[in-house]
Amino acid sequence: MMNNWLEGLRSMLCKKPEAFLGVYGAADRITFLELSCDGGTWAVGRKAEEKWQRPQDFGEMTELLAEHITMRLAREGWENLPLALCLPEGEFICKLFPMSGEIPREEQRTAAFWEIDNYLQACGLTLENVSCTSARLPGEETVEALILLREKIRTLEEAFDSKEIRLEGLFPETPLVAECRLQEEGWQIGGLQLWGSESAGDKESLEGERRSLYAAAALAGLGNDSWPENLLAWKKEESPWNYEGIGRLVMMVAAVFIAVMLVVDLGELYLASRAAEEARQQMAALEPARLVMEADRKMASLAESKEACLAGLSEKSRPLDSVLIHLGTVTVEGAWLTEVDCTQESLLLLRGEAVDYSALGEIMEAFEKDRGFFPSVPLLEDSRQREDEGGGIEFRLKMDMGI
């Protein structure tokens, strides 16, 4: 009963992902496949491919793979999906050894562990240098041990971490990918039907989708107990703490604390209600005086706001009269002003006409020489030849008034 309750609590606190993304990098393409669950029904979602040429060097391969995956995730909106990578079998050290299918699964794993340990010692390696898993080949009395150097895992994780990619699963390519079978209405893993559209690509695309689905399904826990474990799990060490016992103790202490605080709060609530009632009676007696004071405060506040507004307007006002008068003194033969715009902060916009560009240059030179009044040099924003019979030049100047 307690276990069921704890499982329910775990499910409420730790929501499992409802979508996964599988990725497989073949020699000439990278295949992406989305696997999602809606109401307990699993389905194959969107698919995508990236063209590439797989480098021989593992470090170069991981960097290029992370770069291609980053671009595709951003393009498809897959950034927040847990990502599982199917790594080609050529990156692993593989060892086959016979084992009866009647041996229970846990005993199979223990036996595979000792076989791997003996093999590593013969190769001059130790379990600290590698991450290992095993898989029973379908329909055979044979187990395949797969060994990946932890140095490769660290290289892979560093490349993905540098691109901020959420890599959560790493699975080896094994003959078990054959258990992902394409059907008329989607894919099938063992007895589980995954709905989705049938692949319409070539044979290489189909195999890429199969391995991508294999990785996503392994991360989602849809494979059977013959499938290999997640090779990233070697980093997860068991905690010595009994979280369930600690949780029950915390809940008991919290229940006692809440009960004590509830009693204290009820007492304070009673005293506060008595004090509130007395305060309401006093406020009722002082209500006429309060209304008079409130009216006085509103009038004083209104007067202050008007004074502040007037002061602000006065502070930001410009000496427009003096500007217009001074502009009248700037005269040049053959050029005149037609419009003055002072609506923009600290800017003076002038429009005018000139008989030719020589007159335009003279009026700009007149403004430049009048530095006692105009602090900045005029900037010619626009000038163009009029198309009517009179001809002439239309121009627009801008000056920073510094006010």
Domain harbouring 357, CATH code: 3.30.1360
Per-residue pLDDT at 1 exceeds 60? no
Residues 93 and 141 in one domain: yes
Residues 119 and 175 in one domain: yes
- Identify whether 4 is part of a domain: no
Tell me how far apart the alpha carbons of residues 106 and 113 are, in angstroms, rounded to a whole number. Answer: 11
Residues 271 and 183 in one domain: no
- Identify whether 6 is part of a domain: no
Secondary structure letter of residue 191 according to DSSP = T
- Identify whether 300 is part of a domain: no
**Band of residue 238 on the pLDDT scale cut at 50, 70, 90:** very low
Q: In terms of Cα–Cα distance, which of 349, 352, 351 is closest to 398?
A: 349
Residue 244's pLDDT is 64
Residues 172-191 pLDDT 10s: 999 889 889 888 778 999 88
Tell me how far apart the alpha carbons of residues 286 and 292 are, in angstroms, rounded to a whole number. Answer: 10
Residues 133-154 pLDDT 10s: 888 888 788 888 888 999 999 9
Structure tokens at 338: 């037609």
This prediction's pTM: 0.55
Phi, psi angle pair for 386, to nearest 5°: -70, 150
- Across the range 83-110, mean pLDDT stands at 84
Residues 287 and 341 in one domain: no
- Identify whether 301 is part of a domain: no
Residues 147-175 pLDDT 10s: 899 999 999 999 999 999 989 999 999 98
Structure tokens at 241: 């703490």
- Identify whether 307 is part of a domain: no
Q: In terms of Cα–Cα distance, which of 250, 234, 232 is closest to 242?
A: 250
Per-residue pLDDT at 243 exceeds 70? no
Q: In what order do the strands lie in the sheet with 142-149?
A: 93-98, 142-149, 130-136
Structural domain that includes position 82: 14-236
Residues 336 and 277 in one domain: no
**Band of residue 283 on the pLDDT scale cut at 50, 70, 90:** confident
Between 32-46, 61-75, 114-128, 242-256, the lowest mean confidence (pLDDT) is in 242-256
Total count of domains within the chain:
3
Residues 110 and 189 in one domain: yes
